[in-house]
């Protein structure tokens, strides 16, 4: 609701009317928010209140755009007041302002229609919102006869599964993960993406990272690698990844789902460029050349080293992407869906290569959407699940065989369906297993 007025920079009677309208809307929003279970304080905060009235109308998606439009509108309005004496500037600003107003009213209509539905009122009330918005909002707020049929559901307020509550002891050789939480501010709300993730992964282990959409797999990997720091204590061989990131970054390899390679370059040049970027600056020319030769041999790329990348098969491109990251010989090697787009045989051969890397004393963590076809190559599985608050939690970490017993299932796909929310086609048992696993860990750590 853009309710400020421009009158050649002069504060007059029309401005007084605008202030009165703003006060009436604020009071109306305050009581509507109270009725709908939205934080009442946001009624006094411009932009935030536009977003929250959309929450009351069950129009969260539209509310994001609506609040952004209002924020831009407020900024332009202030600028027009500041430059009120300069007609050319005001005229220039009036053009985008007109577009903002039109778009703003379109979204306002959508939101108020949603509000009519939530309050079980006729759509005819839309005329009141359109022509007498302040008075209509005030009436809807203060009148006890206007009662919403649905209260805004804030997942953060639900009782979530119990937590371990403390860090576990770091191991001398391997990865120790103690994530208290990872939070972000998302449209005036604090959102917890991950919470209470604790584990130790010894060297020589190949680990599957399993979880449904939104369970926090990528967030977990970003936190572990230090790409997006969490409220956490992450150690690799007793070295703090966050505090000593400049040193540790060479000891962590990450292969994204998408191949980040230039198609018009040769395989050899691609690996050489990667060596220049990934190896420490103090590495000698001989060391780089030896490492490049080792990667070409280890990943079966020697015979195609002079070929253009765009001429490689899907499996060869994946191997090249892996070689580019593994050239620094990292102790922690993470791969996001390395088998994406590959057929069963090629994918299997790729995972065998990853198994060899783990057997050489490295830690390999992999995300894959088809885990059951290669599950025999993994030592352990990490299962992340969304709890009642839609926060990523640890539902299991340990040997694959024990995971089957823990969940009472025979495949990774069945485990995934068990922990997925019911609105995602799952059984909705995430909290049950998060608590069960937390109890299991508490018994082990005393």
Which domains occur in the chain, in start order? 13-151 (no CATH), 174-237+331-445 (3.40.50.300)
Q: In what order do the strands lie in the sheet with 189-202?
A: 239-240, 231-236, 174-186, 189-202, 392-399, 380-386, 206-211, 363-367, 332-336, 252-255
| 79-106: average pLDDT | 77
> Residue 150 forms beta bridges with which residues?
none
Structure confidence at residue 89 (pLDDT):
64
> Residue 176 forms beta bridges with which residues?
200, 235
Structure confidence at residue 235 (pLDDT):
95
- Name the residue with tokens 């390395």: 338
Highest-scoring range by mean pLDDT, 185-199, 254-268, 277-291, 292-306:
292-306
Indicate whether 154 pLDDT > 70: no
Q: What's the pTM?
A: 0.75
Highest-scoring range by mean pLDDT, 157-161, 208-212, 440-444:
208-212
What tens digit of pLDDT does each residue of 364-415 get? 999 998 999 999 999 999 999 998 888 999 999 999 999 999 999 999 999 9
Indicate whether 276 pLDDT > 60: yes
Largest Cα separation within the chain, whole Å, is 82
Structure confidence at residue 30 (pLDDT):
96
**Percent of the chain scored above 70 by pLDDT?**
93
At a CB cut-off of 8 Å and minimum separation 6, what does 307 contact?
266, 267
| 31-52: average pLDDT | 93
Which tokens sit at 131? Answer: 């022509």
Structure confidence at residue 340 (pLDDT):
83
Indicate whether 146 pLDDT > 90: yes
Q: What is the mean pLDDT of the chain?
A: 88
pLDDT category at 330 given cuts 50, 70, 90 is very high
b/e map 27-36, b = 16+ CB within 10 Å: bbbbbbbebb
**CA 189, CA 207: separation in Å to the nearest integer?**
34
**Comparing C-alpha atoms, which of 187, 10, 176, 167 is closest to residue 85?**
10
pLDDT category at 5 given cuts 50, 70, 90 is very low
| 294-320: average pLDDT | 90
| 72-83: average pLDDT | 80
Indicate whether 167 pLDDT > 50: yes
> Residue 367 forms beta bridges with which residues?
336
> Residue 385 forms beta bridges with which residues?
393
Structure confidence at residue 445 (pLDDT):
66
pLDDT category at 84 given cuts 50, 70, 90 is low
pLDDT category at 4 given cuts 50, 70, 90 is very low
């Amino acid at each position: 609701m853009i309710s400020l007025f421009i009158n050649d920079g002069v504060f007059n009677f029309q401005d007084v009317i605008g202030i009165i309208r703003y006060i009436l809307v604020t009071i109306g929003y305050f009581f509507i928010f109270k009725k709908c279970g939205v934080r009442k304080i946001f009624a006094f905060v411009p932009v935030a209140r536009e977003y929250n009235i959309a929450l009351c109308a069950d129009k969260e998606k539209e509310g994001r755009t609506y609040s952004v439009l209002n924020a831009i509108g407020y900024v332009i309005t202030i600028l027009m007041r500041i430059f009120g004496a300069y007609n050319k500037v005001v005229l220039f600003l009036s053009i985008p302002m007109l577009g903002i107003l039109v778009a703003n009213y379109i979204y306002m209509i959508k939101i108020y229609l949603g509000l009519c539905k939530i309050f079980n009122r006729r759509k005819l009330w839309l005329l009141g919102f359109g022509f007498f918005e302040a008075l209509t909002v005030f009436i809807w707020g203060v009148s006890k006869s206007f009662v919403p049929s649905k209260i805004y559901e804030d997942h953060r307020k639900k009782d979530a599964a119990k937590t371990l509550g403390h860090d576990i002891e770091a191991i001398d050789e391997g990865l120790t993960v103690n994530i208290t939480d990872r939070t972000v501010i998302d449209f005036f709300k604090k959102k917890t993406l991950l919470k209470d993730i604790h584990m130790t992964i010894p060297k020589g282990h190949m680990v599957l990272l399993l979880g449904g959409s939104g369970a926090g797999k990528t967030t977990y990997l970003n936190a572990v690698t230090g790409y997006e720091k969490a409220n956490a204590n992450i150690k690799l061989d007793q070295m703090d990844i966050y505090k000593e990131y400049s040193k540790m970054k060479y000891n962590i390899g990450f292969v994204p789902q998408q191949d980040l390679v230039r198609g018009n370059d040769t395989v050899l040049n691609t690996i050489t460029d990667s060596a220049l970027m990934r190896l420490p600056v103090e590495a000698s020319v001989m060391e780089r050349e030896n490492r490049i030769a080792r990667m070409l041999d280890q990943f079966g790329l020697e015979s195609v080293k002079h070929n253009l990348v765009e001429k490689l098969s899907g499996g060869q491109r994946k191997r090249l992407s892996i070689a580019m990251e593994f050239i620094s010989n990292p102790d922690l090697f993470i791969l996001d869906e390395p088998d994406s787009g590959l057929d069963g045989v090629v994918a299997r051969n790729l995972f065998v290569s990853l198994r060899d890397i783990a057997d050489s004393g490295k830690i390999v963590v992999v995300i894959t959407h088809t885990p059951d076809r290669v599950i025999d190559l993994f030592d352990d599985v990490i299962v992340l699940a969304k709890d009642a608050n839609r926060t990523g939690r640890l539902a299991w970490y340990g040997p694959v065989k024990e995971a089957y017993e823990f969940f009472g299932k025979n495949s990774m796909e069945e485990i995934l369906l068990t922990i997925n929310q019911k609105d995602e086609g799952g059984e909705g048992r995430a909290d049950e297993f998060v608590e069960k696993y937390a109890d299991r860990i508490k018994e082990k750590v005393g």
